[in-house]
């Protein structure tokens, strides 16, 4: 089949202004081509800007720099030929299934019969016949997302965009719906010429799409594009599948060598949102398993999603408790010691490691020990962090640092006053 | 596509209810014609309120019409203001604090301006005074509806708003399919509150003294007040009874069905634990006539929507865009000019204010503040135990809640004359009497919120404290007070707003032909409005607005944030 470029992004950059003229870059240097008959998945951790990228492609968000070309023409607004399926389904609870599906057809200039016919066709396509008059609240999550898909397909889009469409569903329901979509796709029943799927689930991308675009986070950049040519239905236990899984896992986790490089480039170290308790759980588990595990095997054993397990692994890497090689997570000597230590020793090891490796904790300690009353409002640090992160992320960063600092007994936090303080200022010397 | 009205289609028989509905429609028609014929008449300076009880129905209908028109005006204004405020960050930054200030201005402060303007506009016609009365009621009911609508449309989930963009809705479709349904529940609740507020201020709006001239409109509010002035308790009770009956009928036939119907606009997709029922709505759903009307309405709206895509899809047109931009700038300039003009005028009015007046205002503000706090305190003392008791005992709640609801629906202003009679007999002046009057208007907000808070305390927390034998004061300190805190704060905020508004009608009362008043900001505002001292009126209004907004910012807002972060039960 001939390959036609449906959509193209050229040097897309998206950044947000945060106070005092500083800006935070979410996406950078995004050059992406979507061809006809292609099922592209955009993979990345949360915060990698993949949903923002999807919204730029949909014409919902304007890029700060660069442009989107739809069939060679710059895309300015939402285009009737591009439909979106949303993570939260975004159905109108006050409309029936049929009315929800008709929603996109009203403004096109069709008459009532045509609208009805197209809506019914789309409902049949996703297997919802018989539920036309049901209200969304009467349906299960999987059926609701089917309505969302039918609504998008009813307008017969050329490009179908899906934003984490299965992540609000339970495992079995999600699998079932994925299977149905792949069937429609390969049987050519999809009205759309191309599909773009945004997901953080590597397995999902591998089992569904024909190309995976891997985004790294902070800032979101395309790190790799991997063609997926395995025949459908894809066997998750096959060697090829597992090889690709490992490959993508390794790409997705930032190597420790990258961190000093980022720091040198003036970027603030990003703390993964991981609680100490969870990090300890992971390290001890890996230690019990001999100090080296396959990340994919681990995540399926713990039935944890990438979004849950990656922050733990990244935190371990930052703290020098572990490293990632070829899709495996390996404990360092320090990590092994930490796993074996008793409660008090654990705190000591963690404290040393955090003071050595965590920029934010270092900074907090410096400020707290220089100020005479050894007490500083959280707002002070938030203001610093806001120069590097979105306001929401700034709070996440500080929350993580407080959790780590409290555990290490480096500093304490007064929730009511919103202040960080040193408990025994004299014993700390920086 | 249908508009969001759905009614079971099983019955196509003409039922008794259809005949009833026919008469209701007939009634509404004759009501409209009657109102039109009444309002067109020239205004006589001395409208006599005839106390013969046979006139009560006619008066009640006229009052109802005023409240109805004021409500329609409020609804239209709310939607317009809410949309405009959400158009951009700049609009929002100006319009939302402005709303806060407008809300704190008591109805009576608008009175002279509105009345004089309307009478000037329609000289010698009664419609001028009618419109003034409607506008006054409007200023009493519009703000909370506006807040509600604005809040609703600004909390529409991001993805829902994106659906509208992806599927290319035009403005009309967006309003009809997303914004209106999304805000329906809040808007209906607040409409109910607002109309209740309309009854509250009816007495002040239908009969007042301005620049020493006596203005009266025939209505149930002026009827009760006239009866009270003549000391005729029997007629007061007739009037009051009619008003309460009207309120109960409205509740039964309009608000309750609307609230039940609006449940379909709940945004969470989980079915509620308890389905609300409305017997009237069930009755109406069986009517073939209603079904026909709903179908007709649906079809018309759908046709209008389709048309809107053809005829009015002007937004893409660059000429239209530029034109609307220019219009926006022109209207902004006009608004600015009006504001400057108003400020200059105001400065002129205030210029003859003496230093003594300012001292008087400050003193008055202090007394009113004291009264508001005492009223809140008294309300708290009785509503806290009663509310918690009702909230924690579902069985008690079933019986007591409906009693409380009826008691709360009686507009406090209408009961004032009766209460005043007792107060006068007891010999305590209005100094203390005003506190009781304020209490009447505000305690319900607290009570309802406390009931809601107490019934929301998780069962396991209650059981745990029982298991550990936590009792008495410790139980209140560890379980109940923290548990109901967010609700308590919400109740206090609403109650304090209500109390401030009530200072106007409770610190200055005309009764039995004479005027009773006490030192206070509310009294000062009423007094200066009656005597036409506009400088004093303006200054004391500003002072009240400042006090109310200041207390909101300094006290309530902080408590509210604390309630939302620390005492939230997740």
- Residues of chain A neighbouring B265 (CB-CB closer than 8 A): 93-94
Statement: residue A128 has pLDDT above 80: yes
Predicted-complex ipTM score? 0.73
Statement: residue A164 has pLDDT above 70: yes
pLDDT of residue B273: 46
Looking at every residue in chain A, the average pLDDT score rounds to 85
pLDDT of residue B5: 42
Selecting from B159, B169, B305 the residue whose C-beta is nearest the C-beta of A90 gives: B159
What is the chain A residue with the closest CA to B562? A416
Distance between CA atoms of A137 and A100, rounded to whole angstroms? 13
pLDDT of residue A81: 87
- Residues of chain B neighbouring A107 (CB-CB closer than 8 A): 167-170, 173, 309
Statement: residue A196 has pLDDT above 80: yes
What is the chain A residue with the closest CA to B313? A107
**Is A219 touching B (CB cutoff 8 A)?**
no
Mutation pick from B4, B156, B166, B562 vs chain A, by most beta carbons of A within 10 Å, is B166
Distance of CA A155 to the CA centre of its chain: 28
**Is A146 touching B (CB cutoff 8 A)?**
no
Of residues B247, B462, B236, B508, the one with CA closest to residue B367: B508
pLDDT of residue A42: 93
pLDDT of residue B562: 79
CA distances from B511 to A107, B133, B210, B369 (A): 62, 21, 17, 24
**Is A113 touching B (CB cutoff 8 A)?**
no
β-pair partners for A324 = A329
pLDDT of residue B394: 76
Distance between CA atoms of B218 and B235, rounded to whole angstroms? 15
Q: How confident is the model at residue A2 (pLDDT cuts 50, 70, 90)?
A: low
pLDDT of residue B2: 40
Contact between A106 and B267 using a beta-carbon 8 Å cutoff: no
**Is B163 touching A (CB cutoff 8 A)?**
yes
Q: Is A192 helix (H, G, I), strand (E, B) or coil?
A: coil
pLDDT of residue B64: 92
Q: Where are the strands (E) in B332-401, listed by range? A: none
pLDDT of residue B11: 40
pLDDT of residue B63: 92
Element housing B550 (H / E): helix B534-551
pLDDT of residue A85: 93
Distance between CA atoms of B516 and B419, rounded to whole angstroms? 14
pLDDT of residue B322: 79
pLDDT of residue B377: 93
Statement: residue A258 has pLDDT above 90: no
pLDDT of residue A4: 87
Q: How many CB atoms lie within 10 A of CB A267?
A: 14
Distance between CA atoms of A310 and A321, rounded to whole angstroms? 14
Residues 290-309 (B) with a CB less than 8 A from some CB of A = 305-306, 309
Which residues lie below 8 Å from residue B38, measured CB to CB, with a gap of 6+? B62, B126, B218
pLDDT in tens, A11-46: 999 888 766 666 778 888 999 999 999 999 998 877
Q: How confident is the model at residue A429 (pLDDT cuts 50, 70, 90)?
A: very low
Can you list the residues of chain B whose pLDDT is less than 50? 1-13, 269-273
Statement: residue A317 has pLDDT above 80: yes
Can you read off the two tokens belonging to residue A198?
Answer: 């945004």
Mutation pick from B163, B180, B188, B316 vs chain A, by most beta carbons of A within 10 Å, is B163
């Amino acid at each position: 089949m001939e390959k036609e470029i449906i959509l193209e992004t050229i040097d897309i950059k998206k950044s947000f202004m945060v106070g005092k003229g500083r800006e935070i870059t979410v996406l950078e240097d995004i050059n992406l081509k979507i061809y006809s008959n292609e099922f592209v998945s955009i993979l990345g951790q949360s915060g990698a800007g993949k949903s923002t990228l999807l919204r730029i492609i949909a014409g919902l968000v304007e890029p700060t720099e660069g442009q989107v070309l739809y069939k060679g023409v710059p895309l300015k607004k939402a285009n009737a030929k591009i439909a979106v399926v949303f993570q939260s389904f975004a159905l109108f609870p006050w409309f029936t299934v049929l009315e929800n599906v008709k929603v996109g057809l009203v403004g096109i200039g069709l008459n009532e019969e045509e609208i009805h016919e197209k809506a019914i066709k789309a409902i049949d396509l996703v297997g919802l016949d018989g539920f036309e008059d049901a209200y969304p609240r009467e349906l299960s999550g999987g059926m609701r997302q089917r309505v969302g898909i039918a609504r998008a397909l009813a307008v017969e889009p050329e490009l179908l965009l899906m934003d984490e469409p299965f992540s609000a569903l339970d495992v079995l329901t999600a699998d079932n719906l994925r299977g149905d979509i792949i069937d429609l796709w390969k049987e050519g029943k999809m009205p759309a010429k191309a599909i773009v799927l945004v997901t953080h689930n590597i397995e999902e991308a591998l089992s569904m799409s024909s190309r995976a675009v891997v985004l790294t986070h902070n800032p979101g950049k395309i790190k790799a594009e991997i063609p997926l040519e395995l025949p459908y239905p894809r066997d998750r236990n096959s060697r090829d599948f597992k090889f690709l899984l490992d490959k993508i896992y390794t790409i997705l986790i930032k190597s420790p060598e990258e961190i000093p490089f980022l720091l040198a480039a003036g970027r603030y170290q990003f703390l993964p949102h991981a609680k100490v308790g969870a990090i300890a759980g992971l390290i001890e588990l890996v230690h019990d398993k001999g100090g080296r595990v396959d990340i994919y095997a681990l995540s399926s054993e713990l039935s944890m999603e990438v979004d849950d397990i990656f922050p733990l692994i990244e935190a371990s890497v930052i703290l020098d408790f572990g490293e990632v090689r070829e899709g495996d997570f390996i404990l360092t000597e320090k990590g092994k010691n930490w796993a074996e230590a008793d409660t008090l020793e654990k705190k000591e090891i963690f404290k040393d490691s955090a003071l050595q490796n965590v920029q934010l904790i270092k900074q907090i300690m410096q400020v707290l020990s220089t100020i005479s009353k050894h007490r500083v409002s959280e707002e002070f640090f938030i203001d610093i962090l806001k120069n590097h992160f979105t306001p929401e992320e700034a709070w996440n960063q500080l929350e993580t640092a407080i959790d780590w600092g409290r555990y290490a007994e480096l500093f304490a936090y007064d929730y009511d006053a919103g202040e960080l303080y040193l408990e025994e200022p004299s014993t700390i010397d920086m | 596509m249908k508009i969001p009205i759905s009614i079971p289609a099983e019955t196509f028989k003409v039922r008794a209810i259809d005949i009833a509905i026919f008469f209701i429609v007939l009634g509404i028609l004759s009501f409209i014609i009657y109102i039109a014929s009444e309002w067109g008449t020239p205004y006589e300076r001395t409208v006599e309120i005839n106390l013969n009880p046979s006139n009560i129905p006619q008066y009640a209908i006229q009052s109802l019409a005023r409240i109805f028109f004021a409500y329609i005006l409020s609804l239209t204004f709310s939607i317009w203001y809410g949309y405009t405020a959400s158009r951009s960050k700049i609009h929002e930054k100006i319009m939302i604090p402005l709303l806060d200030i407008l809300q704190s201005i008591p109805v009576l402060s608008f009175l002279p301006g509105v009345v004089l303007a309307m009478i000037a506009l329609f000289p010698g016609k009664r419609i001028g005074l009618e419109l003034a009365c409607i506008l006054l009621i409007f200023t009493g009911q519009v703000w909370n509806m506006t807040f509600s609508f604005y809040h609703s449309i600004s909390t529409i989930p991001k993805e829902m708003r994106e659906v509208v963009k992806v599927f290319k809705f035009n403005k009309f479709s967006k309003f009809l399919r997303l914004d209106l349904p999304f805000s329906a529940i809040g808007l209906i609740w607040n409409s109910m509150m607002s109309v209740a507020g309309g009854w509250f201020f009816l007495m002040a709006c239908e009969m007042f003294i301005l620049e020493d001239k006596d203005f009266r409109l025939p209505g149930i509010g002026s009827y009760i007040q006239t009866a009270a002035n003549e000391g005729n308790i029997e007629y007061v009770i007739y009037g009051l009874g009619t008003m309460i009956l009207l309120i109960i009928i409205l509740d039964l036939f309009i608000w309750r069905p609307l609230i039940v119907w609006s449940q379909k606009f709940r945004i969470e997709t989980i079915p509620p634990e308890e389905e609300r029922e409305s017997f009237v709505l069930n009755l109406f759903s069986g009517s073939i006539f209603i079904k026909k009307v709903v179908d007709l309405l649906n079809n018309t709206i759908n046709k209008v929507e389709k048309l809107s895509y053809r005829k009015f899809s002007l937004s893409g047109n660059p000429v239209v865009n530029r034109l609307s931009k220019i219009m926006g700038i022109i209207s902004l300039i006009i608004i600015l000019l009006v504001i400057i003009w108003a400020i200059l005028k105001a400065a002129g009015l205030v210029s003859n204010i003496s230093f003594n007046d300012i001292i008087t205002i400050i003193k008055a503000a202090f007394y009113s503040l004291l009264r508001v706090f005492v009223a809140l305190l008294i309300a708290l003392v009785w509503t806290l135990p009663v509310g918690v008791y009702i909230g924690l005992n579902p069985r008690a709640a079933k019986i007591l809640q409906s009693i409380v609801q009826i008691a709360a629906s009686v507009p406090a202003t209408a009961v004032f004359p009766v209460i005043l009679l007792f107060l006068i007999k007891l010999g305590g002046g209005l100094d203390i009497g005003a506190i009781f009057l304020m209490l009447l208007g505000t305690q319900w907000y607290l009570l309802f919120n406390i009931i809601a808070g107490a019934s929301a305390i998780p069962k396991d927390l209650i059981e745990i404290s029982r298991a550990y034998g936590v009792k008495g004061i410790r139980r209140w300190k560890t379980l109940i007070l923290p548990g109901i805190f967010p609700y308590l704060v919400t109740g206090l905020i609403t109650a304090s707003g209500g109390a401030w508004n009530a200072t106007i009608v409770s610190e200055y009362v005309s009764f039995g032909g004479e005027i009773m008043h006490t030192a206070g900001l509310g009294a000062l505002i009423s007094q200066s409005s009656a005597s036409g001292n506009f400088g004093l009126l303006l200054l004391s209004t500003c002072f009240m607005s400042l006090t109310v907004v200041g207390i909101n910012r300094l006290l309530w807002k902080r408590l509210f944030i604390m309630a939302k972060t620390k005492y939230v039960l997740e």
